[in-house]
């Protein structure tokens, strides 16, 4: 007779799944870069915030800034690209927060408040 392993509570499963992304953010960011370039061509991908600083918590998200002359300004277009990025990752619930900016928007806004960043591509 084989005993069944106890099931983990759903909150623990979710926390473990999030941790996988938080600990391996560079791998996922590289995949996001490939997919962003497929859709936008000239995209640069910058990760910023707590994962780069190394002070993330289980509730943290992974902030991804996609810089491109073709950065979508329309919410519907952003949603389409976000969907493609999440499909490339393979998990719609992954803790990524996507931000978009043109190079000018990056220079005039984002570069002023991003305290820790890693340029992926």
Question: Is residue 38 in a domain?
Answer: yes
pLDDT of residue 38: 96
Angstrom CA distances, 121 to 8, 29, 106, stand at 38, 9, 15
Average pLDDT of span 17-42: 94
In this structure, the strands spanning 96-101 and 62-67 are parallel
- The CATH number assigned to the domain holding 25 equals 3.30.460.10
- Residue 4 to residue 15: CA distance in whole angstroms: 22
pLDDT of residue 20: 92
Question: Is residue 26 in a domain?
Answer: yes
Over 90: is that where the pLDDT of 89 sits? yes
Domain that holds residue 78: 10-119
Question: Is residue 1 in a domain?
Answer: no
Average pLDDT of span 66-81: 96
Structural domain count, the chain: 1
Question: Quick one: what percent of the chain has pLDDT higher than 90?
Answer: 75
Over 60: is that where the pLDDT of 1 sits? no
- Number of helices and strands in the chain (H, E): 6, 4
């Amino acid at each position: 007779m084989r005993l069944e392993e106890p099931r983990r509570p759903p909150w623990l499963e979710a926390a473990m799944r999030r941790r996988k992304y938080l600990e391996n953010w560079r791998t996922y960011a590289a995949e996001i870069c490939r997919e962003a370039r497929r859709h936008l061509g000239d995209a640069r991908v910058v990760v910023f915030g707590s994962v780069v600083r190394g002070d993330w918590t289980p509730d943290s998200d992974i902030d991804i800034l996609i810089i491109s002359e073709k950065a979508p300004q329309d919410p519907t277009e952003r949603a389409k690209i976000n969907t493609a990025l999440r499909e490339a990752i393979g998990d719609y619930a992954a803790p990524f927060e996507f931000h978009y900016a043109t190079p000018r928007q990056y220079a005039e806004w984002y570069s002023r408040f991003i305290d820790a960043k890693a340029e992926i591509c």
